[in-house]
């Protein structure tokens, strides 16, 4: 069944064609093509609408007996009989084939009320609520702080501890002391290195430690040399040599290797002359300063076969 969208009257279908009228018979409004949403939401609106012919064909029941009304009671003295009125006979209904009626869709007459908007709104958590705070702390690594989503979470930075300046000063002093100890402990080897010796001299000058003498035999330069026999001693040769220290630092007196050769160039005799052989006992601990000259004089036995050549080498 359709409903007029203007006056909201029901528009019955034509019993002959079964179609709704083209216009509303009450207000003349054009009838809608189909049922409106409002008419479908009404209770019982989804029940099928039957035409008068369908109702007549469906309700094939015998006519119910019409109830008779008793005449009023009148006193015997005044009883008057009214003429009887014949009852109209019911028109017979032609039997037709039964029409299957679809079951009605039950629509609740009273729809439940819509919930209030406040029921859908979840109130914000009170940060001061101890119960909610305990729940948050149970699922949060950092109690009392909203961690947020995992993709936006930033690892907390550790608080920066400021190191006092005197710590750095103490560290520098200890490092310097350690370096000085290493230099002093290994000064005997480092003192023979031209790059380290100046530093070691300043360190030992402050700490009052001693350094071994600089040893660079190749820095000695031979100034004069002479080998000749002694006139008052047969078979004895007197060796004399003069040398100079050309090194940067003082050096101890050198050891000299003397070799004597015959006429054929063969070494007839050799000897290493140490400082104790040509110095006085009081001069053994002395050194030759840079540019200072020294002299060596020793006596050696002449080898058999005669000596015609000699060679010196500093050690």
Q: Write out pLDDT tens, residues 232-272.
A: 888 899 999 999 999 999 999 999 999 999 888 889 889 99
The whole-angstrom separation of Cα 149 and Cα 134 is 19
pLDDT category of residue 50 using cuts at 50, 70 and 90: very low
Residue 305 in tokens? 């076969």
∠26-32-38 over CA atoms, to 5°? 90
∠298-301-303 over CA atoms, to 5°? 135
pLDDT category of residue 15 using cuts at 50, 70 and 90: confident
Phi, psi of 170 (to 5 degrees): -65, -40
What is the Cα 58 distance to its own chain's centre?
82
269 forms beta bridges with 260
Residue-averaged pLDDT of the chain: 76
Q: Which residues contact 126 (CB under 8 A, 6 or more apart)?
A: 132
Is 126's pLDDT higher than 80? no
**pLDDT tens digits for 153-180?**
677 777 788 888 899 999 999 999 999 9
Residue 123 in tokens? 């109130």
pLDDT category of residue 55 using cuts at 50, 70 and 90: very low
Is 290's pLDDT higher than 60? yes
Q: Which residues contact 75 (CB under 8 A, 6 or more apart)?
A: none
Q: Which residues contact 214 (CB under 8 A, 6 or more apart)?
A: 191, 192, 197, 247, 248, 249, 250, 251
Is 66's pLDDT higher than 80? no
Is 45's pLDDT higher than 60? no
pLDDT category of residue 199 using cuts at 50, 70 and 90: very high
**pLDDT tens digits for 272-286?**
999 999 999 999 999
pLDDT category of residue 147 using cuts at 50, 70 and 90: low
Phi, psi of 276 (to 5 degrees): -70, -20
- Model pTM above 0.75: no
In terms of C-beta density within 10 A (0-12 exposed, 13-18 middle, 19 or more buried), how is residue 2 classed? Answer: buried
Distances (CA, A) of 308 to 10, 112, 223, 226, 241: 159, 143, 21, 12, 17
Q: What is the pLDDT averaged over residues 305-314?
A: 88
Q: What is the CA radius of gyration of the chain?
A: 71
pLDDT of residue 304: 83
Is 39's pLDDT higher than 80? no
Residue 208 in tokens? 């009052």
**pLDDT tens digits for 75-123?**
444 444 555 555 556 555 554 444 455 555 565 556 666 655 555 455 5
Q: What is the pLDDT averaged over residues 191-210?
A: 93
Contact 36, 89 (CB under 8 A): no
Q: What percentage of the chain reaches a pLDDT higher than 70?
A: 60
Q: What is the pLDDT averaged over residues 282-294?
A: 94
pLDDT category of residue 124 using cuts at 50, 70 and 90: low
List, by residue range, all CATH 2.70.50.60 domains of the chain. 217-314
Is 27's pLDDT higher than 70? yes
Q: What is the pLDDT averaged over residues 195-219?
A: 93
Is 31's pLDDT higher than 80? no
Residue 44 in tokens? 């019982």
Q: What is the pLDDT averaged over residues 41-57?
A: 51
Q: What is the pLDDT averaged over residues 32-40?
A: 62
Q: What is the pLDDT averaged over residues 137-160?
A: 62
pLDDT of residue 76: 46
pLDDT of residue 119: 52
∠5-7-12 over CA atoms, to 5°? 75
In terms of C-beta density within 10 A (0-12 exposed, 13-18 middle, 19 or more buried), how is residue 243 classed? Answer: buried
Helix, strand or coil, per DSSP, at residue 109:
coil
Question: Which CATH architecture does the domain made up of 217-314 adopt?
Answer: Distorted Sandwich (2.70)
Looking at per-residue pLDDT, the higher value among 49 and 249 belongs to 249
């Amino acid at each position: 069944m359709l409903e007029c969208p203007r006056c909201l009257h029901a528009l019955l279908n034509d019993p002959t064609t079964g179609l709704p009228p083209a216009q509303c018979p009450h207000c003349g409004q054009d009838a809608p093509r189909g049922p409106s949403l409002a008419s479908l939401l009404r209770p019982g609106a989804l029940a099928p609408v039957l035409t008068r012919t369908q109702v007549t064909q469906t309700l094939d029941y015998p006519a119910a007996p019409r109830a008779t009304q008793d005449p009023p009671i009148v006193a015997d003295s005044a009883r008057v009989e009214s003429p009887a009125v014949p009852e109209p006979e019911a028109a017979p209904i032609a039997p037709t084939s039964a029409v299957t009626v679809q079951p009605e869709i039950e629509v609740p007459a009273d729809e439940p009320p819509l919930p209030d908007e406040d029921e859908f709104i979840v109130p914000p958590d009170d940060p001061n609520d101890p119960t909610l705070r305990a729940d948050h702390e149970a699922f949060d690594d950092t109690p009392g702080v909203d961690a947020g989503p995992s993709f936006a979470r930033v690892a907390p930075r550790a608080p920066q501890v400021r190191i006092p300046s005197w710590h750095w000063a103490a560290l520098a002093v200890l490092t310097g002391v350690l370096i000085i100890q290493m230099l002093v402990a290994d000064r005997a080897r480092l003192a023979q290195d031209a790059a380290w010796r100046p530093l070691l001299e300043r360190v030992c000058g402050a700490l009052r430690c001693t350094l071994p003498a600089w040893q660079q035999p190749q820095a000695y330069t031979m100034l004069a040399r002479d080998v000749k026999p002694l006139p008052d001693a047969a078979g004895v040769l007197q060796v004399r040599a003069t040398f100079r220290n050309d090194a940067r630092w003082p050096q101890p007196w050198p050891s000299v290797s003397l070799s004597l050769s015959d006429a054929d160039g063969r070494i007839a005799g050799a000897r290493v002359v140490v400082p104790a052989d040509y110095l006085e006992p009081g001069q053994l601990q002395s050194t030759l300063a840079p540019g200072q000259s020294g002299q060596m004089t020793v006596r050696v036995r002449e080898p058999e076969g005669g000596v015609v050549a000699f060679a010196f080498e500093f050690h």
